[in-house]
Amino acid sequence: ESFQEVDWQKSFGYFDTDTSGTISEAEVMAVFAQQLPDMSAAVLGADVSRFMDETDANGDGFIDFAEFSADEKHSIHDGYDEVKKWRVLSDTATWIMLAYVFGSMFIVHYLPKLTKAVPSSLVSICA
């Protein structure tokens, strides 16, 4: 077995929670819901349905290992990683990051326009 195949098997096993050899939509939903509890049911359902549609090549409603490892888009695995990546930050870290981003946007984009809009008479008073 190659390293890549072992990695695929571990990833597959993560979603095949009942060890049946296939992954159902309910299993994917359960993994996402457990790991991403703040994700809304509507968004979760839509994402999981899309991942299943993209990966379930034979359309039987289940994903076997061959389908999982043949999925060139890595829909379920990459989708899970992408969604989780944005939910690992604490609330404080998220607010700090947002303040930095919006503060930078304000300084770069809005402040120059604001200073151009200040009447020259006011600028001379402040100087």
Of 31-45, 82-96, 110-124, give the range with the top mean pLDDT: 31-45
Q: pLDDT at residue 33 above 60?
A: yes
107 Cβ partners below 8 Å, 6+ apart?
Answer: none
What is the average pLDDT across 112-124? 59
57-83 per-position pLDDT tens digit: 899 999 898 888 886 655 555 555 555
pLDDT bin (cut points 50, 70, 90) of residue 3 is low
What's the rounded Cα separation, in Å, for the pair 122 and 103? 25
Q: pLDDT at residue 92 above 70?
A: no
Percent share of the chain, pLDDT over 70: 51
pLDDT bin (cut points 50, 70, 90) of residue 97 is low
DSSP labels for 15-54? H-TT-SSEEEHHHHHHHHHHH-TTS-HHHHHHHHHHHHHH
Whole-number Cα distances in Å, 127 to 36, 61, 111, 121, 123: 53, 71, 18, 10, 6
Percent share of the chain, pLDDT over 90: 13
- Please tell me whether residue 90 adopts helix, strand or coil conformation: coil
